Amino acid sequence: MSELPKGWVEVEWDQVTTKDGFRRGPFGGNLKKSCFVESGFAIYEQYAPINNDCINFRYFVDDEKYKELQSFKVDNGDFLISCSGTMGKITKVPEGAPKGLINQALLRIRLVESCIDSEYFLKLFRSPILQNQVLNSSVGGAIQNLAAVKELKKILIPLAPLAEQKRIVEKLDQVLAQVDTIKARLDGIPAILKRFRQSVLAAAVSGKLTEEWRGKDEEYIDTCGYKTPSSWLQSSIDEESEYVTSGSRGWAQYYSDTGSLFIRSQDINTDELEIDDAAFVKLPAKVEGQRTKVQKEDLLITITGANVTKCARLKIELDDAYISQHVALIRLKNTEDSSFIELVLKALNAGRKQLTDLAYGGGKPGLNLQNIKDVKFSKPIYKERDEIVRLVDQYFAFADTIEAQVQKAQQRVDKLTQSILAKAFRGELVPQYPTDEPADELLKRIATARKEAEALALSAKKTAKKVGTKNVK
């Protein structure tokens, strides 16, 4: 840790907590599901610090179990830290939160608030200064866990004078509120871009995008569920395709680490084919399903599950690839139409609306091949078709550029938050005042108070022992 300002002191975490300030949840055997009741005292789980939520609970215990595990109880003002998997998340138990117990996946922290301000600690814990130490001390393999309590107690923290702690908290609240406002605005842009892309698609397949290009007023008529120029020709997927098919059943038995590429519904869940997490099948020599082998300009549609109606055009030639039974393949008669028909199938006012209405008309979402063949649309002459595709590519490229810039800005904002927190706990955010009581004086008082408390406890124990001996006599 860098050199601290005058009046600050670097201390072990344990020095600013109460006697029972570190408490890891009970072993699983002490808090099994068989102990739970419908209502009673809440069981605080990792959900609380991960979601900053001390209101919603899944499990409860009765009064007897609550009293048995009193050393693990949760009080207002306690801090709860996630210990396994999603580690290092923290929440402060607010006033009025339900009484309850921590489970084995939580660490409970109690501070000496005459020494360290609770909001100062909360922000410090979320800063790189403490997060790096906490996470770097973790143990475990695939599932990481926080280090043992005895190791956590030794973690070093920068302690400012109490008055300065309060100034730091106040300044951070002001500055981080501004950062949060910027972040919220940036986070809202992807939704705006999504609506923009859909507006472009709607205009493209309805002819509005090329009104100026056509250079003449033209009547719009509804021949396929949405209005298009009267000069466009009515058509359907069935009319435009050589065939529509889906993947063969039972190919899970052919899964392999190598072999033919196997395109699944999750590979097109973004409306594009993404094979970063590819699956492969090793097929026997005489296997049915050659019609499900894909080629460039084929259109693929998810026909079952949560991603139903998602669509992707095969923009590149794949040497040897097949579709799963959850994906439909449209092989077009004229591959030059594939880009325009892809727009139709993705537009919420056109093909996607038709398919969505059918997919969710019953119980479990799903489409059959006839549903896809029945998709109706209007198509322009090839020159206008090509102009539509060009304009959509242009507008989408513009949106992609903005999206990339937003992502970079979001990363910078995230770094800015961490930079501000780091600056605060190096003593560089607010001025130091010589009138502030130094932090080491606070620690001296706490140490004295602890010794006095331990002496009183020892004296009380001896007295109780003497009384017990007399009663026996």
Residue type (1 letter), 167:
R
> pLDDT value at position 473?
54
Task: List where CATH 3.90.220.20 sits in the chain.
Answer: 9-159, 233-379
Q: What is the pLDDT of residues 193-233, one digit of tens each?
A: 999 999 999 999 999 999 999 988 889 999 899 999 999 99
> pLDDT value at position 468?
59
Q: What is the pLDDT of residues 434-466, one digit of tens each?
A: 999 999 888 888 788 777 767 776 776 777 666
Q: Kindly state the average pLDDT of the residues 96-119.
A: 94
Sequence-distant (≥ 6) Cβ neighbours of residue 450 within 8 angstroms: 19
Long-range contacts of 237-242 (CB under 8 A, 24+ apart): 237/330, 237/341, 237/351, 237/372, 237/373, 237/374, 237/375, 238/373, 238/374, 240/332, 240/333, 240/334, 240/337, 240/341, 240/379, 241/330, 241/331, 241/332, 241/333, 241/373, 242/331, 242/332, 242/333
| Residue for token pair 């507008």 | 395
> pLDDT value at position 256?
87
User: How many C-beta atoms surround the C-beta of residue 398 within 10 A?
Assistant: 13
**What does the alpha-carbon distance between residue 385 and residue 334 come to, in Å, rounded to a whole number?**
13
Q: Of the ranges 133-142, 401-410, 442-451, which is most confident?
A: 401-410
pLDDT of 315 higher than 80: yes
Q: For the domain bounded by 233-379, which CATH number is listed? A: 3.90.220.20
User: For the chain, what percent of residues have pLDDT higher than 90?
Assistant: 73
Q: Both tokens of residue 83?
A: 């210990």
Q: What is the pLDDT of residues 375-385, one digit of tens each?
A: 999 999 999 99
Q: What is the pLDDT of residues 248-264, one digit of tens each?
A: 888 878 888 888 999 99
Q: What is the pLDDT of residues 330-372, one digit of tens each?
A: 999 999 999 999 999 999 999 999 999 999 876 678 999 999 9
> pLDDT value at position 122?
96
Q: What is the pLDDT of residues 43-92, one digit of tens each?
A: 999 999 999 999 999 999 999 999 999 999 999 999 999 998 888 999 99
Alpha helices (runs of H) in 217-303, residue ranges in sequence order: 237-240
DSSP character at residue 223: S
Q: Kindly state the average pLDDT of the residues 164-191.
A: 96
Strands 327-332 and 299-302: antiparallel
User: Domain 9-159: which CATH class?
Assistant: alpha beta
> pLDDT value at position 451?
78
Q: What is the pLDDT of residues 10-47, one digit of tens each?
A: 999 999 998 889 999 998 778 888 899 999 999 999 99
Task: Look up the pTM and report it.
Answer: 0.77
User: For the chain, what percent of residues have pLDDT higher than 70?
Assistant: 94
DSSP character at residue 286: T
